[in-house]
Amino acid sequence: MADNKNNPHEVSDTGHEWDGIRELENPPPRWWTISLYLSGLLVLVYFILYPSIPLVTGSTKGLLGWTQIKEYHRGLEEIQAVRAPFEERLAEMTAQEILDDDEMRNYVIASTRVLYGDNCAACHGVGGQPVPGSGYPILNNDDWLYGGTIDKIVETLAKGRAGMMPAHANLLTEEETDKLVKFVIDASNGEATEAGWKLYNEKGCFACHGADAKGNQMLGAPNLTDRIWRFSGEPDEVRRTIMHGVNDANDPRTRIAIMPGWNERLAVKLEAEEFGDDPEDYYDGTETERLTETEIKKLAVYVHQFGGGQ
């Protein structure tokens, strides 16, 4: 047969034929046959060395005792060993000190991406840019409801925020509402009229948004003179905000805009330090810590470095 392998008409076949193509009995190449037997041997060796055969309550362990979870923990330990010196330093530094230290700032930015993704990105977007109209504040511009300094960002993360705008549906006539909607839109474009300003002041809007309508960070009242909209700049959406407010418990159509606090213990500490008191005098033992103080500092630096930090 070897003498005739180049002439298919002189090689025996199996008797099968499809569309004029005969199935010959040529043996496969020797290298292919050897590879087949070696692969079978490799499978057998794998079965002996590694977990492979499922059992009722687990699987065979293999002579090496290797598992994916062990491999994961080993890799995690290696990463933690590299990070440990940095994390120890972070615990002793303030957020401002981290920001001022190039090495530590770069470490935080590189190591906090996952922390931000797990806890913040769902609302504020991967790069600090939430879905338009979602109502979540943009983090990568320089427009801050409560302030964009590193200390203010730490405070916001620790305490959470829940600004409040009262509903005006029962306080304004339809004509007044229309005029205020127009004023807000005009103000954002730098085109507010004298009549609009007059109504704005008469209805007491200045008490929260300021005499110049540029907002009040103490209250979390937004700037009405820029073109940045937390909810929407469409007339119907502006009207809804004016009529039904934000976080007004008395209006079922109010907008809900609440950021949870991530470390109540740190929030209490910051409040005590603001008054020069000992934080231990304020703790009652029930404070939650969804994120550690170090994680809060890392997130504050990470957010500050999006580009809009003050």
- 208 assigned binding-site residue: yes
- 164 assigned binding-site residue: no
- 304 assigned binding-site residue: no
Unique residue bearing structure tokens 């000992």: 278
Two tokens at 100?
């001022």
Report the DSSP beta bridge partners of residue 255.
246
242 neighbors 159 (Cβ within 8 angstroms): no
Cβ-Cβ contacts under 8 Å for 1 (sequence gap 6 or more)? 11, 12, 25, 26
Two tokens at 277?
């008191």
> Long-range contacts: 152-155, Cβ < 8 Å, 24+?
152/217, 152/310, 153/95, 153/300, 153/303, 153/304, 153/309, 154/95, 154/266, 154/270, 154/296, 154/297, 154/300, 155/267, 155/270
- 205 assigned binding-site residue: yes
Round to whole Å and give the CA distance between 168 and 177. Answer: 9
- 259 assigned binding-site residue: yes
Amino acid at 25: E
Length of the chain: 310
DSSP letter at 54?
B
> Long-range contacts: 224-231, Cβ < 8 Å, 24+?
224/184, 224/187, 224/188, 225/187, 225/188, 225/190, 225/192, 226/143, 226/188, 227/188, 227/189, 228/138, 228/141, 228/143, 229/188, 230/135, 230/137, 230/145, 230/257, 231/133, 231/135, 231/255
**Residues marked as binding?**
120, 123-124, 165, 205, 208-209, 259
Residue set of the binding site for heme c = 120, 123-124, 165, 205, 208-209, 259
